[in-house]
Amino acid sequence: MRKVKSQKTMPELRFQTAIKKRGFQVRRNDPKVKGKPDLVFPESNLVVFIDGDFWHGNQWRRRKLSSLDQQFSNSRRQQWTAKIRRNMERDAAVTSELTFEGWKVLRFWESDVMSNLDWCVSVTTNEIQSSLLGGGNLIAQKTFAEFFAGIGLIRLGLEKHGWKVSFANDNDPQKKELYQGHFEDAERHFSLKDVNDLSVAEIPSVTLASASFPCNDLSLAGG
């Protein structure tokens, strides 16, 4: 494990070279910024992480497995999945802290950088230019999408702390009716569909995605 490179990997170097060719200056692995992002653009208040697929929890999807656990044999499963899940939790915590400090955070998988470098660079440069022109963030601060929204209890809690809903989803017409009773703006963002039928295009970019437990359907109390 000591041989695993955490800095100056091939995806990072390719990304940095492509960004510099666009005329943008960048700092690498700034220790003053939470999480030591791979790339820091101070003038735009933007940081970029290029996450390794294996160590940050994307390899099982690339291998078309059904879960992270399937990636390992029984004898090594607990050890490796525990480590990778800790990495994923740390990534989420770092992103959250940076967002609250006013940074804009972009994360790319290393496989995306290697297979679709132009797209990754385009997303980044668009965000830099938007910031320099005084535009909004690529992902609006403190916005959320709630899945299995039910009657909107997660929304009630988040809104007390300054969050704004951008999307809500549930497949139960009765729950939608109750949700509408609580929130007058429900028609603008509530999607009455099975979560499996949602398309990526329907879901806006948000800072947080939440999923509450569908108690009526699955819990002993709901039953």
Looking at the DSSP assignment, which residues form a beta bridge with residue 91? none
Instruction: Say whether both 92 and 163 belong to one domain.
Output: no
CATH of the domain at 158: 3.40.50.150
* Residue of 170, 53, 57 lying closest to 113 (CA atoms): 53
The pLDDT of residue 3: 44
Domain end, chosen from 132, 154, 179, is at 132
* Cα separation, 7 vs 38, whole angstroms: 7
Instruction: Say whether both 88 and 178 belong to one domain.
Output: no
Residue 190 sits in which domain range?
A: 143-218
Q: Count how many Cα atoms sit within 13 Å of the Cα of residue 204 in the half-sphere of its side chain.
A: 19
> How buried is residue 37: exposed, middle or buried, by Cβ count under 10 Å (0-12/13-18/19+)?
buried
Considering its fold, how many domains does the chain have in total? 2
Note the pLDDT tens digit of each residue in 27-49. Answer: 888 889 999 999 999 888 999 99
Domain end, chosen from 106, 132, 158, is at 132
Note the pLDDT tens digit of each residue in 136-151. Answer: 554 556 889 999 999 9
Instruction: Say whether both 203 and 121 belong to one domain.
Output: no
The pLDDT of residue 74: 80
